[in-house]
Amino acid sequence: MLTRIDHIGIACHDLDATVEFYRSTYGFEVFHTEVNEEQGVREAMLKINDTSDGGSSYLQLLEPTREDSAVGKWLAKHGEGVHHIAFGTPDVDGDAAQIRDKGVRVLYDEPRRGTMGSRITFLHPKDCHGVLTELVTSAGVEPDEH
Protein backbone atom coordinates (compact mmCIF):
# COMPACT_ATOMS: atom_id res chain seq x y z
CA MET A 1 0.00 0.00 0.00
CA LEU A 2 1.34 3.42 -0.93
CA THR A 3 1.85 5.41 2.26
CA ARG A 4 3.21 8.84 1.34
CA ILE A 5 4.75 11.09 -1.23
CA ASP A 6 8.40 10.07 -0.92
CA HIS A 7 9.76 12.76 -3.20
CA ILE A 8 9.26 14.98 -6.19
CA GLY A 9 12.05 14.61 -8.75
CA ILE A 10 13.19 17.83 -10.40
CA ALA A 11 15.51 17.73 -13.42
CA CYS A 12 18.10 20.50 -13.62
CA HIS A 13 21.14 21.48 -15.69
CA ASP A 14 23.26 22.66 -12.74
CA LEU A 15 22.78 20.77 -9.48
CA ASP A 16 24.83 23.17 -7.36
CA ALA A 17 22.96 26.26 -8.58
CA THR A 18 19.60 24.54 -8.11
CA VAL A 19 20.51 23.41 -4.57
CA GLU A 20 21.50 27.00 -3.77
CA PHE A 21 18.15 28.28 -5.06
CA TYR A 22 16.16 25.93 -2.81
CA ARG A 23 18.46 26.64 0.15
CA SER A 24 18.40 30.42 -0.15
CA THR A 25 14.75 30.74 -1.21
CA TYR A 26 13.04 28.15 1.01
CA GLY A 27 15.63 27.22 3.60
CA PHE A 28 15.79 23.56 2.48
CA GLU A 29 19.11 21.89 3.27
CA VAL A 30 20.76 18.96 1.53
CA PHE A 31 20.13 15.71 3.39
CA HIS A 32 22.02 13.40 1.01
CA THR A 33 23.97 13.51 -2.26
CA GLU A 34 25.19 10.77 -4.55
CA VAL A 35 26.03 9.85 -8.12
CA ASN A 36 23.98 6.99 -9.55
CA GLU A 37 26.10 5.69 -12.43
CA GLU A 38 23.42 3.21 -13.56
CA GLN A 39 20.86 6.01 -14.00
CA GLY A 40 23.43 8.57 -15.17
CA VAL A 41 22.58 11.24 -12.60
CA ARG A 42 24.14 13.31 -9.86
CA GLU A 43 21.50 14.01 -7.26
CA ALA A 44 20.73 15.83 -4.05
CA MET A 45 17.91 14.97 -1.67
CA LEU A 46 16.50 17.97 0.22
CA LYS A 47 14.46 16.82 3.22
CA ILE A 48 11.14 18.59 3.58
CA ASN A 49 9.63 16.77 6.57
CA ASP A 50 9.22 13.49 8.40
CA THR A 51 6.03 11.50 7.91
CA SER A 52 3.78 9.46 10.18
CA ASP A 53 4.97 6.15 8.72
CA GLY A 54 8.56 6.78 9.78
CA GLY A 55 9.69 7.94 6.36
CA SER A 56 10.35 11.42 5.06
CA SER A 57 9.38 13.59 2.12
CA TYR A 58 12.06 15.11 -0.10
CA LEU A 59 12.77 17.14 -3.19
CA GLN A 60 15.15 15.15 -5.38
CA LEU A 61 17.25 17.35 -7.64
CA LEU A 62 18.67 15.49 -10.64
CA GLU A 63 21.50 16.59 -12.91
CA PRO A 64 22.41 14.19 -15.73
CA THR A 65 26.00 12.98 -15.88
CA ARG A 66 25.59 11.99 -19.52
CA GLU A 67 23.32 13.16 -22.33
CA ASP A 68 22.01 9.65 -23.10
CA SER A 69 20.63 9.10 -19.57
CA ALA A 70 16.85 9.17 -19.08
CA VAL A 71 17.10 12.51 -17.25
CA GLY A 72 19.50 13.90 -19.87
CA LYS A 73 17.09 13.02 -22.69
CA TRP A 74 14.15 14.40 -20.71
CA LEU A 75 15.97 17.72 -20.07
CA ALA A 76 16.84 18.06 -23.76
CA LYS A 77 13.19 17.63 -24.70
CA HIS A 78 11.39 19.44 -21.84
CA GLY A 79 13.92 21.69 -20.08
CA GLU A 80 14.21 22.01 -16.33
CA GLY A 81 11.27 21.17 -14.13
CA VAL A 82 9.29 18.43 -12.43
CA HIS A 83 10.44 15.09 -13.80
CA HIS A 84 8.49 12.60 -11.65
CA ILE A 85 6.56 11.97 -8.45
CA ALA A 86 7.52 9.11 -6.14
CA PHE A 87 5.26 7.31 -3.70
CA GLY A 88 6.66 5.48 -0.69
CA THR A 89 5.67 1.90 0.01
CA PRO A 90 6.93 -0.78 2.38
CA ASP A 91 6.65 -3.33 -0.48
CA VAL A 92 7.71 -2.05 -3.90
CA ASP A 93 7.58 -5.58 -5.36
CA GLY A 94 4.03 -6.28 -4.18
CA ASP A 95 2.64 -2.88 -5.08
CA ALA A 96 4.27 -2.94 -8.52
CA ALA A 97 2.72 -6.38 -9.17
CA GLN A 98 -0.75 -5.20 -8.07
CA ILE A 99 -0.49 -2.08 -10.23
CA ARG A 100 0.75 -4.14 -13.21
CA ASP A 101 -2.29 -6.42 -12.77
CA LYS A 102 -4.48 -3.32 -13.23
CA GLY A 103 -2.99 -2.75 -16.68
CA VAL A 104 -0.34 -0.14 -15.85
CA ARG A 105 3.06 -0.73 -17.44
CA VAL A 106 5.84 -1.14 -14.87
CA LEU A 107 9.13 -0.13 -16.47
CA TYR A 108 11.48 -2.53 -14.62
CA ASP A 109 10.90 -6.28 -14.35
CA GLU A 110 12.68 -6.18 -10.98
CA PRO A 111 13.12 -3.11 -8.78
CA ARG A 112 16.51 -1.39 -9.02
CA ARG A 113 18.74 0.39 -6.54
CA GLY A 114 17.69 3.98 -5.94
CA THR A 115 18.84 6.86 -3.75
CA MET A 116 20.16 6.06 -0.27
CA GLY A 117 19.99 2.30 -0.95
CA SER A 118 16.25 2.30 -1.68
CA ARG A 119 14.53 -0.11 -4.08
CA ILE A 120 12.63 1.55 -6.92
CA THR A 121 10.61 1.02 -10.05
CA PHE A 122 8.76 3.36 -12.39
CA LEU A 123 5.29 3.34 -13.95
CA HIS A 124 4.86 4.41 -17.56
CA PRO A 125 3.66 8.03 -17.80
CA LYS A 126 1.25 7.20 -20.64
CA ASP A 127 -0.61 4.93 -18.21
CA CYS A 128 -0.52 7.53 -15.39
CA HIS A 129 -2.12 10.57 -17.09
CA GLY A 130 1.22 11.91 -18.31
CA VAL A 131 3.05 11.63 -14.98
CA LEU A 132 6.18 9.51 -14.66
CA THR A 133 5.54 7.76 -11.33
CA GLU A 134 8.10 6.06 -9.13
CA LEU A 135 7.48 3.52 -6.36
CA VAL A 136 10.07 3.55 -3.55
CA THR A 137 10.85 1.26 -0.65
CA SER A 138 13.36 3.00 1.59
CA ALA A 139 16.44 1.07 2.73
CA GLY A 140 15.82 -0.85 5.93
CA VAL A 141 12.09 -1.22 5.33
CA GLU A 142 10.91 -4.83 5.12
CA PRO A 143 7.67 -5.74 3.29
CA ASP A 144 4.66 -6.53 5.44
CA GLU A 145 3.74 -10.21 5.59
CA HIS A 146 0.75 -10.96 3.35
Query: Which are the catalytic amino acids?
Result: 7, 43, 60, 84, 134
Q: Which residues lie below 8 Å from residue 8, measured CB to CB, with a gap of 6+?
A: 58, 59, 60, 82, 84, 85, 86
Mapped onto helix, strand or coil, the DSSP state of residue 67 is coil
